[in-house]
């Protein structure tokens, strides 16, 4: 009956700016928009809906309650990392390896925690 995640949403003070950031920096495409809401799609089909926010946002840290990060799968970790550096993305720390997987954390233009990941073995 249940087949998986269709999309998740991020509330943003400037949805268009955030959608454009995912397009410019992570090769997503804006696939649908309506009334100030934007759906951006990754090459593998993953969707993020970006909606207008209300109010102030609390700081997002690694262990703050709630959704913590968006993991972006990358085929060539070194090339992806280099491209983001060239685009001026600010990283939380240096890349590292964990159980054969390569990771690096950074923030998007709204301060949402994102990380690149290259897995040595797929989870599915």
Q: Which residue from 2, 35, 4, 7 is spatially nearest to 22, judged by alpha carbons?
A: 7
Q: In this structure, are strands 101-107 and 96-98 parallel, antiparallel, or unpaired?
A: antiparallel
Q: Identify the pLDDT of residue 89.
A: 95
Kindly state whether residue 60 falls inside one of the protein's structural domains.
Answer: no
Q: Strand order of the sheet with strand 47-52?
A: 8-12, 47-52, 37-41, 29-34
* Domain around 87: 67-124
Task: Tell me the pLDDT tens digit for each residue of 37-57.
Answer: 999 999 999 999 999 999 888
Query: Does residue 11 sit in the same domain as residue 41?
Result: yes
Domain count, the chain: 2
Domain at 92, CATH number: 3.10.180.10
Query: Does residue 85 sit in the same domain as residue 123?
Result: yes
Task: Tell me the pLDDT tens digit for each residue of 82-104.
Answer: 999 999 999 999 999 999 999 99
10 touches 50 (CB < 8 A) = yes
Average pLDDT over residues 105-109: 95
| pTM of the shown model | 0.91
């Amino acid at each position: 009956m249940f087949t998986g995640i269709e999309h998740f949403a991020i509330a943003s003070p400037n949805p268009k700016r955030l959608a454009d950031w995912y397009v410019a920096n992570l090769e997503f495409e804006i696939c649908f928009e309506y009334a100030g809401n934007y759906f951006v799609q990754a090459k593998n089909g993953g969707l993020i809906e970006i909606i207008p926010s209300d109010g102030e946002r609390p700081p997002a840290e690694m262990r703050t309650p709630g959704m913590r990060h968006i993991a972006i799968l990358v085929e060539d970790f070194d090339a992806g990392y280099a491209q983001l550096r060239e685009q001026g993305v600010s990283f939380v720390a240096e890349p590292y390896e964990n159980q054969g997987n390569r990771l690096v954390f950074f923030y998007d233009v709204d301060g949402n925690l994102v990380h690149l990941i290259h897995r040595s073995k797929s989870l599915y």
